[in-house]
């Protein structure tokens, strides 16, 4: 696993389910370049336990991301048919009906591999037998990609550890503040608080007040 901070987000074109039930071909993050940032997050598997809590948490805050002109896109190594089926199931039955942002189907596992969040790899032994060294599913990776397609933030959790959606929103706010004002955002900064100019004097003044 390696960092892709400061680099172009890996390109992909894959099937996805959008608007809670429409399967589309050749979905790509390129549609957002030049228009808006994207929070692109991976989750391990459909029809599991922690994953729906995260998917619903992002849906509940989707309007907040939209207010910030930020798209939200999810991805797992399940098929588009699996995504579609899960999206048709009611929450009380273990489904995620009501989730409206796109779910990308990384069925060949190349998207997760290129983003550095695939748990496992393929090996070939002396008899040319291929085997997997892990479950070949994605860790809980999250990437904030700016409107130029550059990765500005990434965080990766192991399977049992759900993410904090408010922290993802905070990162979107921090990126927007830096891009608009040129000021860097200190630890625990939230929207509306004072940020810091990139100078030793500004940092010293900030630290003197905390």
Catalytic residues: 51
**Cα–Cα distance, 141 to 35 (Å, whole number):** 23
* Residue closest to 73 by CA, chosen among 64, 85, 65: 65
Strands 151-157 and 130-132: unpaired
**Cα–Cα distance, 117 to 74 (Å, whole number):** 13
In Å, how far are 6, 128, 177 from 49, measured between CA atoms? 33, 37, 35
What count of Cα atoms within 13 Å lies in the side-chain half-sphere of residue 184? 9
Query: In the numeric block, which tokens belong to residue 122?
Result: 């393929």
Q: Is 61 exposed, middle or buried (0-12, 13-18, 19+ CB in 10 A)?
A: middle
Which spans in the chain are helix H?
50-60, 62-67, 80-88, 110-114, 165-181, 200-208
């Amino acid at each position: 696993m390696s960092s892709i901070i400061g680099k172009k987000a890996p390109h992909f074109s894959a099937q996805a389910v959008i608007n809670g039930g429409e399967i589309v071909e050749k979905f790509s993050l390129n549609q957002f370049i030049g228009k808006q940032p994207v929070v692109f997050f991976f989750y391990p598997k459909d029809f599991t336990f922690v994953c729906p809590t995260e998917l619903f948490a992002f849906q509940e805050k989707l309007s907040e991301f939209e207010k910030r002109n930020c798209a939200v896109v999810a991805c797992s190594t399940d098929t588009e048919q699996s995504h579609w089926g899960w999206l048709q199931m009611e929450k009380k039955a273990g489904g995620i009906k009501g989730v409206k942002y796109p779910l990308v189907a990384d069925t060949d596992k190349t998207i997760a591999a290129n983003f550095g969040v695939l748990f496992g790899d393929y090996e070939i032994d002396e008899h040319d037998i291929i085997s997997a060294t892990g479950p070949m599913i994605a860790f809980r990776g999250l990437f904030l990609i700016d409107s130029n397609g550059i990765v500005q933030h990434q965080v990766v959790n192991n399977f049992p550890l759900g993410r904090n959606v408010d922290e993802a929103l905070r990162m979107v706010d921090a990126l927007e503040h830096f891009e608009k004002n040129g000021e860097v955002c200190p630890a625990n900064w939230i929207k509306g608080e004072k940020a810091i100019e990139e100078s030793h004097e500004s940092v010293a003044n900030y630290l003197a007040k905390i």
